[in-house]
Chain A
Amino acid sequence: MTAVSEARSTGRLLLIAGVIKDMASRPSGLIGMSLVAFHVLIAILSPWIVPYDYKAVSVELMFNPPSGNHIFGTDHLGRDVFTRTLMGGREALVVTGFATPLAVIWGGFIGILLGLVGGRIDEVLMRIVDAFLSLPWILKMLVLIVTFGTGLEVLIPTLAFFYGIPVIRIARAATLDVVARDFISSARARGHSRLAIVRRELLPNVLDVMLVEGAMRWSWMLLAFSSLSFLGFGVSPPTPDWGLMIADARGYMAFAPWFVLAPIIALSSLIIGINLAADALAKALGIDRSQKAPQ
């Protein structure tokens, strides 16, 4: 039995609590959620807890290895790496935090619609989606960013747009899956309106898939955002950002490894955390079919 069924039997309000409880009961969920919560907390609180000013440059402190004063050492401009690592996820989390729900909403909407409408429109649009997906994402992104600039007001819609396209496929597939089932036929035979069928019978079954998909997309988007920063299209210096820090530190990897390691560890731990949490979420919602109990 999944968490959903347990929670739903006692009332709608407990649904979320039930899912989170189920996720926390799995090792992957507990580790994943802790990592994500830790990162979000740091991102919010970092301006008040960092020991130094993130943009304080100092010639004397260049490339200092980790020490009591600077536990992650200092960078090529003598800035405190610990401070910058703590603050380096803020932009990324804000951008992806807005872009992910946007991507899931628009992609999901179009996908469900195509799954329901079917026919020629569906076929034509899906071929366009396929064609779009076959192009390397970075190329498409760069074209847009070069055209419109790199501010948050451009990055959020751009990421939301690009990451919404694969969501179309997932939402459409999930819709087709549910539409073929007998409870939809049953509702149709009873004579419910189309809107009622979509709202009551279809959406509850598709939304779970979308939720998990959203969580997975979030981690992909974080990577994409960091890659853009790495290439110099994301955050502009001196704002601390992991992608940018990795780009800066790349040249000094041989003699100042702390400089490159700190942002890498921070970024990967967040992405691993999201992936583990998404995995546990899928299992808690009963989407992962390979994990059925024996019998």
Chain B
Amino acid sequence: MDGKQLFEIRDLSIGFTGNAGQTLPVLRNVDFTVSGGETVGIVGESGSGKSTLALAAMGYLKHGLRVLGGSAKFKGRNTFEMTTRELEDIRGGEMAMIPQNSGQSLTPTMRVGKQLREALRLHTDLPESSYQDRMVELLTQVRLPEPENILKRFPHELSGGQQQRVAISMALAGEAEALLLDEPTTGLDVTTQAHILELLRDLASETGTAMVYVSHDLGAIARVSDRVVVMYAGEVVLEGNARNVLLSPTHPYARGLLSSIPSLKDSRLPAALEGRPPAPGAAGNGCSFVDRCAIAQPECMSVRPDLIQTPEGESVRCPFYAKVPDLAATEQTVEMARADGSATDAIRLDRLSIDYAKKSFLDQLLRRNNGSVPTVEEITLRIEKGETVGLVGESGSGKSTILKSIAGLLEPSSGKIQLGEQEPLAELVDKRPMTHRRQIQLIFQNPDESLNPRHTVEEIIAQPLRLYFNCSAEELRKRSIDLLERVRLSSHYLTRLPSQLSGGEKQRVAIARAFAAEPELILCDEVTSALDVSVQAAVLNLLNQLKRERGTTYIFVSHDLAVVRCLSDRVAVLYQGRLCELGESASVYSLPSHPYTEVLLGAVLEPDPEAVPEILADDVVELSPPERGCPFQRRCPRKVGSICDTETPPWQVGAGSHAIRCHIPLEELYQCQNGGKSADR
């Protein structure tokens, strides 16, 4: 760290003009500095102003925003006073930005080489003749294999992780002194994320570039940051070195946020942080966190706290920060509701296969198989009443596909689905009788998409009630209110539209709609991944309580292994539409594991600066599963030999019902995975 200040933001306030002409602040009196060579993480939930702050550091304001006061300096020059021309010179050169979705920020019609060349031409003085060497050097620096080959490709020919690497290499092209990263790994698979973060860490130490890392993901922040800034409602509420902030947070919000993250090490549900942050302009005179704070004092309502320096060198916007560590004892995390083991089946999947690949017209005509391998192959799974089974896997593993086919939205190519002891279900929902339709309900990932924006909450909840039960208008209303209460919403929400609800509230309405049918089985498709962490914990707790009250069976699909752990009795790990491992959560998350599970677990990031992820496999994206052998053969870190390429591995059943599909004997797996590391997983 050379100590020279690159970014210096003083007392910056940014806002926009509301519909009624009032000024609504998005950032309030923010102080923020970054020195050369330092990596600073900005963390906060959606709407906390973290991206606005990062963009303001570059001298950029989103449409409609304006500076209300304060200054933002880059290397001593005020960026808001610079001309567009001057800013253009700096951006991409002295400072560069890496956006969240680099697939969209790369020009789709230009080869990677041409785009990199342009970056070099604009931001360096290199002679044209040395561009090729420099480009190869840059791509090698971001650990892309066969750089010459990558240069000739179009962005769409690269995987998400590779695109992100190309974006990073473009940012490095100008030898920037500062990199701004806005959620650079959000939306990537866990293994890819772990790779990118390691790369960023290495680059920071190799090149001495300062980085500003914006994310909602405390695990990612923990992995890369020296210093962490926690934002809440447009204010900096806590700032300090990463270790202190993440391991012993002194602000009640930071504390609540951290304890709302489910952990791999803990099978209990995380504690929810109730309430929601104030909307821009809605924060009163007092502390913006007062409504949700467990240690709020009367004066917190009227006096806005200042940033206080603690003896440990942190800045915290809470005068009662000394009380925060004691909060731990008073908080309670809830134990998950377990199945009662009544042993009657809720649903059985029998050799279920689904094929997405559409046959071509010619193939149809000749009635031939075009040799494609099914997307999902021979899933056999038995789920007991009241049990929660988690399906985990990276994108493309077929998790959602399986749910859709259980829901009757997608026709399986072969196999059977049986509800309880009844006849096998008709393949498509149109052909199922009403009782079957009622028994299975689906909750989607993004409530913005799954709730009709034109329907009020009352109309949304009434849909299943009208369809499945012959209710009178009066009873309809009574039941709707009752359902809302069950998802902890009061009856005045009935007249609201989805656009008037927060993300968490929308998902609660979606949950209420699913429960309105009084279903036997609820399919949860990534139900928390569009939500903020604190809201996620509340939704998980809600699902858990409903399960306890109603004994509903869940199939819970998620890419987040920690989330799956805290809600599931059993976990099924999927790779490329094939089951790899199946067993009680406790055994799946301990040893031995299928090599793929091992890779996934190793890549999970904990909000702990000392936790080091283990990267065991490449993040190559496979488009289709291999025709023969083990589906994981190409990436497996423990591949034994040709047997993996030719023979489908057998199911090996270990303790309990823990089954692993691998050629390596279980004892051997246990030994090699246990070697050199503690068994605390």
A residues neighboring B (CB under 8 Å): 1-2, 4-5, 8-10, 181-183, 185-192, 200-201, 204-205, 293-295
Contact = CB atoms under 8 A, between A and B. Distances in A.
Contact of B26 (A2, A188, A295): A295
A-B pairs with lowest CB-CB distance, top 10 = A191-B437, A204-B454, A182-B449, A182-B450, A294-B64, A189-B407, A5-B497, A183-B452, A182-B444, A294-B16
B336 interface: no
B497 A205 contact: no
A293 B24 CA distance: 11
B441 A205 contact: no
Contacts of A192: 463, 467
29 contacts: A1-B500, A2-B499, A5-B497, A9-B496, A9-B500, A182-B444, A182-B445, A182-B450, A185-B409, A185-B442, A185-B450, A186-B450, A188-B409, A188-B429, A189-B407, A189-B429, A189-B440, A190-B463, A191-B429, A200-B463, A204-B452, A204-B454, A204-B455, A205-B454, A293-B64, A294-B65, A295-B16, A295-B26, A295-B62
Nearest to B498: A5
Contact of A189 (B64, B408, B456): B408
Contacts of A190: 437, 441, 463-464, 467, 517
A291 to B, nearest CB: 9
Interface of B: 16, 26, 47, 52, 62-65, 280, 407-409, 429-430, 432, 434, 437-438, 440-442, 444-446, 449-456, 463-464, 467, 495-497, 499-500, 513, 517
A119 to B, nearest CB: 13
Nearest to B452: A183
Contacts of A1: 499-500
B444 A186 contact: yes
B65 A5 contact: no
Nearest to A11: B495
A9 B449 contact: no
B499 to A, nearest CB: 5
Contacts of B446: 182
A187 B464 CA distance: 9
Contacts of B434: 191
Given A5-B497, A189-B429, 12 more contacts: A1-B499, A1-B500, A9-B497, A9-B500, A185-B442, A186-B513, A189-B407, A190-B463, A192-B463, A205-B454, A294-B26, A294-B65
Contact of A5 (B280, B409, B464, B499): B499
Contact of B409 (A2, A9, A189, A294): A189
Given A191-B467, A204-B452, A294-B62, A185 B26 contact: no
B518 to A, nearest CB: 13
B64 A8 contact: no
A8 B432 contact: no
Contacts of A295: 16, 26, 47, 52, 62, 280
Q: Specify which of B65, B437, B445, B446 lies most central, judged by the most chain A CB atoms within 10 Å of its CB.
A: B437
A183 B451 contact: yes
A123 to B, nearest CB: 13
Contacts of A4: 454, 497
Given A190-B517, A204-B452, A5 B463 contact: no
Contacts of A204: 452, 454-455
Nearest to B438: A191
Contact of A294 (B63, B438, B440, B464): B63
A204 B451 CA distance: 13
A181 B497 contact: no
Contacts of B467: 190-192
B621 to A, nearest CB: 24
A190 B435 CA distance: 11
Nearest to A196: B467
Given A8-B497, A9-B500, A293 B16 contact: yes
A293 B20 CA distance: 13
B495 A10 contact: yes
A200 B454 CA distance: 9
Contacts of A200: 452, 455, 463
Contacts of B449: 181-183
A5 to B, nearest CB: 4
A2 B499 CA distance: 9
Contact of A9 (B64, B445, B495): B495
A220 B47 CA distance: 42
B130 to A, nearest CB: 42
Contacts of B64: 293-294
A115 B339 CA distance: 45
Q: Specify which of B16, B432, B442, B445 lies most central, judged by the most chain A CB atoms within 10 Å of its CB.
A: B442
Contacts of A5: 497, 499-500
A185 B434 CA distance: 17
A9 B442 contact: no
Contacts of B432: 191
B473 to A, nearest CB: 16
A293 B446 CA distance: 21
Contacts of A182: 444-446, 449-450
A188 B434 CA distance: 12
Contacts of B454: 4, 8, 204-205
Contacts of B441: 189-190
Contacts of B452: 183, 200-201, 204-205
A205 B453 contact: yes
A293 B453 CA distance: 17
A33 to B, nearest CB: 19
Contacts of A293: 16, 64
B416 to A, nearest CB: 19
B104 to A, nearest CB: 16
Contacts of A183: 449-452
A123 B32 CA distance: 57
A204 B442 CA distance: 23
A8 B494 CA distance: 12
Nearest to A12: B456
Nearest to B63: A294
A237 to B, nearest CB: 49
Contact of B463 (A2, A181, A187): A187
A190 B62 CA distance: 41
A213 to B, nearest CB: 17
A39 to B, nearest CB: 30
